[in-house]
Amino acid sequence: MNLKVLLPFQVFAATSGVKRIVAETHAGSFGILPQRLDCVAALTPGILLYETAADGECYVAVDGGVLVKTGADVFVSVRNAIAGTDLGRLREAVEREFLSLDERERGVRTTLAKMESGLIRRFAALYHD
């Protein structure tokens, strides 16, 4: 299989000769072998594992995203990714970087929603005056 890990503005990793891939979704982990049917999966922040004959098992910490398998090509599109060989450190990176980022994003979205609703109320008040 051919694996491409895509970030919003660059290709993070492109690997050919991948024998298997293991990814994490909301329903749990699942594996992809070369003969698997085409599929799409929503990924959660976690560890993406892939294995090649040359490098053995490789690990990439990924933020939430989408995995698409079409034929021999597998595309993983995520917001952020960190490569590494130590699973413990990668798991810590996922918890520290990606999950805390989600909390900050929720805070920003809440603030924006409050600002938007305040703006709409002011426009409504001007309209009724």
- Over the stretch 43-95, which tens digit does the pLDDT of each residue have? 988 889 999 998 889 999 888 899 999 999 999 999 888 888 778 778 777 77
Report residue 111's pLDDT band, with 50, 70 and 90 as the boundaries. confident
| 76: β partners | 5, 67
User: CA 3 to CA 79: how far, in whole Å?
Assistant: 17
| 39: β partners | 69
DSSP single-letter state for residue 80: -
pLDDT exceeds cutoff 80 at 16 = yes
Q: What is the mean pLDDT of the chain?
A: 86
Residue type, 116: E
| Interval 92-105 mean pLDDT | 69
Whole-prediction pTM: 0.71
